[in-house]
Structure formats: C-alpha cells, structure tokens
Amino acid sequence: MQDESEDLMVQAAWYYHVEGMTQAGIAERLNLTRRRVNEMLAQAHETGLVSVHFNSPLSLCAELEARLCNRFGLEAAVVVPTPSEPTLVHKVLGKATADYLTRLINARKPHAIGLGWGTTLRETIMSARPQNFEGLEVYSIMGGLTHGTEINTFEIVRSFAERFGASGNYLVAPIYMDSAEAREAIVAQSSFRKALQAICNADVGLVSVGDVSDKSLQVRYGLPDGVSPHDLVSSGAVGDVIGRYVDSEGRQIDHPLNHQVMSPELDDFRKIPTRIVASGGQHKHAIMRAVVAAGHVNVVITDAACATHLLDDRAEV
C-alpha cells in the first residue's frame, strides 16, 4: 500500500492536471498549504509519478474522489483501494480517516468534533498519531451501549480525546430509551438539551453508518429487546446513521425506534458544517448511497467498490 505522501501527491496532481484546479483550490480541498501543494506537484514530475499518464493504481481513486465531489456536491472525498480481504476494509478506512482528520484539524483548528461509534472509528483512533490539540472538545453524538465494549460511544470519545489531547464530553444515556415518552422526559432536562445543542454546534461530525444485517454492530449490540432487523426492513430501512434508521432515499422510516434514539434529529445534525461519513464494504452500499445522496453528510471516506456503487445510476439499493 502506498504511503500517505504518495496518496496526497496523486490527488494533488490529478486535481491540477486533470480537473484544472488552482493550487489554492487544491490546498483548500486537501487541507494543505499552497507551498506544500507546489512541492508535491514538482515532486510528482521529478519522480515520474506524473508524465503523460498517471503511474499509480491510486489514480483511479483520485478520479472517483473527483466524481463523488462533483456528483453529490461534497466538500471532499477520500477513496482507498478496496482490499481483497473484506475484513480489512475497516483498517484501511481507519488509516485514511485518521490521516484526513489530522490534516483537517491542523488546517482548520475546529473547536469541537462530534463522534459516532463503530469499528472504523475505532481503527481511526488506533491509526492516528498522538497529538495535542489544546482546546479541542470532543462530543459523543449518540448515547452508548449499556454493556462495555471498545467500540462503544463512550470508549470512542475517551480514546479519541486521549490520542488527540482533547477534552471528552459524553451523552450519558443509552442509545435507545424504552419509549418515546421516556426520551422526551430525558431531553426535557436542561442538561440534555444543552448537550444536544453543543453536539450540533460542533464544527465537525465524524460518523459511520450501519446496515440491517447481522454484520451491523448496531443490530448485534444496540437494538432494544423486541426490535428485530426484520421489523426495520419491513418498515423500509436500509440502515442507520447516528442511530436513526432511514430508507433508500435517506428519509427516516416510520418506526418507534426513531422516536426513542438518543441522538440529534437529522435536520439538527445537518447544522454541523463538516459532516464526515467513514464506511465501506459491500454490505454498506445501500445505506451509504442513501445517506450520501440525501445530503446528510458532505465528506465521504470509503473504498473504491463502494464509491463506484455510489456513482452507478443503475445500481439498486
């Protein structure tokens, strides 16, 4: 696998030579300085990476990134080669997400980041180099599991805060309350209202998405008693984002679970300026297509096969 510097070099060269972007535009897209972009373009020629054509398998990924941004009006896209072993997709995406997020934090100096949960986000934390971003606040976007696991929202926030030298803030509640009335009672408390407001006032939101198969951690660990994947599919669900189950067009399904979830409403979540989804794998194709096409997110980090599916008008969700 190529290292991060070659990946960025290929992206910069693609944007400059094929997309016709300015160096200033490339710097903003990749969260780099103009000087660094200029150096990368020069190095691409010197090393022979760029000549008449691109001499790297990552050029396909760069093309997919550009097409995703143009098609869905994204702020940015990061596409990695799809690993031949499906179980490695979380690790590959975690590395890409850690690299992108670190560059973004260094370039934009956000005051607050909201985090979801899942294996890809755990791999993101494990791949990130320890740094000290003084003054950065990290919030859990969702409630947590009632039993311990390293992919729980609480553990994700704690580990992220430790790795990035940030302050952690937790939404101390289960992912799903017992009823809509119970959720309303909790949210009526000023501390929870303020917590939800703080989440949506973040500069960046980083989430994953889940499908409705037994591969989904949400299905295996997070659904309350009495709710089955079959119930959700019968109601039109293709998966969830921040614990809210949506249909193939990204609309919340009519199911009681969506009134019990301890997370912001999707309209409120969309107030976060930069909303990143990091997910991939064949089982995520339908939910990724729904979430991206609906505009719930504006930065996509995924694998090449999933990116191709998102761009295929003939694909069924």
Tens-place pLDDT, residues 295-310: 999 999 999 999 999 9
What mean pLDDT is predicted for residues 213-234? 89
% of the chain exceeding 90 in pLDDT: 75
Span 58-107, pLDDT tens digits: 678 999 999 999 999 999 999 999 988 988 999 999 999 999 999 999 99
C-alpha span between 237 and 254 (Å, rounded): 9
User: In this predicted structure, what is the pLDDT of residue 105?
Assistant: 96
Query: Which residue is it, tokens 């998405």?
Result: 209
Compute the mean pLDDT over every residue in the chain, rounded to the nearest whole number. Answer: 91
User: In this predicted structure, what is the pLDDT of residue 145?
Assistant: 77
Say if residues 141 and 263 touch (Cβ distance below 8 Å). yes
Q: Tokens for 306, please give them.
A: 């999933």
User: In this predicted structure, what is the pLDDT of residue 148?
Assistant: 54
> Any alpha helices (H) in the chain, and if so which ranges?
4-17, 23-30, 34-46, 58-72, 89-108, 119-127, 153-164, 180-187, 190-200, 217, 229-234, 266-269, 285-293, 304-311
pTM: 0.84
Pick 275 or 59 by higher pLDDT.
275
C-alpha span between 110 and 257 (Å, rounded): 32
Strand ranges across the sheet with 239-241: 209-210, 239-241, 244-246
Judged against a pLDDT cut of 90, whether residue 184 lies above it is answered with yes
